[in-house]
């Protein structure tokens, strides 16, 4: 099973320029752990001091806000497209 993870441009400085990657994570906590393994610099950016996902990041699964799907308890389905988007994204730096 694999999901496709899509990142905003603001994050690619932490991923060697990659905007997408595949993950075998089963749920959101699994994905965050996976990001911690593969892109430690990105993990630092998207997590707050308590190790939780920053509240300014929204996670979408196939166009739906993950909070409408059960949040952390949502079990990723094979082929899900998971997008991370800052709540007011936009602009390049």
Partner 1 sequence: MNYSCSKYELKCNECGKRFGNQPLSACPDCLAPLEVAYDLEAVRGIFTRENIAAGPANIWRYAALLPIPDGFQPDLPVGFTPLVKAKNLGKRIGATNLYIKNDAVCFPTLSFKDRVVSIALANAQRFGFDIVGCSSTGNLANSVAAQSARLGLKACILVPADLEPAKVLNTLVYGARLVRIDGNYDHVNRLCSQIAEEYNWGFVNVNLRPYYAEGSKTVGYEIAEQLGWRLPDNVVVPMAGGSLIRKIRKAFQQLIYLGLVEDKPVRFFGAQATGCSPISVAVKEGTDYIEPQRPNTIARSLAIGNPADGPAAAKMILSTGGWAEDVSDVEIVSGMQELAETEGIFTETAGGVTTAVTARLYAHGRISPDELTVTCITGNGLKTTDALTGRYPEERAVRPRLADFDAYLRELDGEAEPELAAAGGKHGN
Can you give the binding site for partner 1, defined by CB under 8 A?
A: 8-10, 45-46, 54-58, 60, 63, 65, 67-68, 83, 85-93
Determine whether 25 is exposed, middle or buried from the number of CB atoms within 10 Å of its CB (0-12, 13-18, 19+).
buried
Query: Which residue, 2 or 68, is less far from partner 1 as judged by CB?
Result: 68
CB of residue 24 vs partner 1: minimum separation in angstroms? 25
Determine whether 24 is exposed, middle or buried from the number of CB atoms within 10 Å of its CB (0-12, 13-18, 19+).
exposed
CB of residue 1 vs partner 1: minimum separation in angstroms? 25
Query: Which residue, 71 or 79, is less far from partner 1 as judged by CB?
Result: 71
Distance of CA 72 to the CA centre of its chain: 12
CB of residue 35 vs partner 1: minimum separation in angstroms? 15
- 36 to 9, 11, 15, 88, 90: CA distances (angstroms): 18, 14, 11, 24, 24
Query: Which residue, 24 or 68, is less far from partner 1 as judged by CB?
Result: 68
């Amino acid at each position: 099973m694999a999901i496709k993870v899509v990142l905003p441009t603001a994050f690619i400085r932490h991923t060697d320029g990659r905007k997408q990657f595949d993950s075998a994570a089963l749920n959101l906590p699994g994905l965050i752990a996976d990001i911690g393994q593969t892109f430690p610099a990105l993990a630092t950016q998207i997590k707050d001091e308590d190790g939780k996902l920053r509240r300014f990041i929204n996670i979408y699964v196939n166009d739906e806000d993950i909070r409408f799907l059960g949040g952390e308890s949502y079990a990723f389905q094979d082929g899900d497209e998971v997008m991370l988007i800052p709540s007011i994204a936009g602009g390049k730096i």
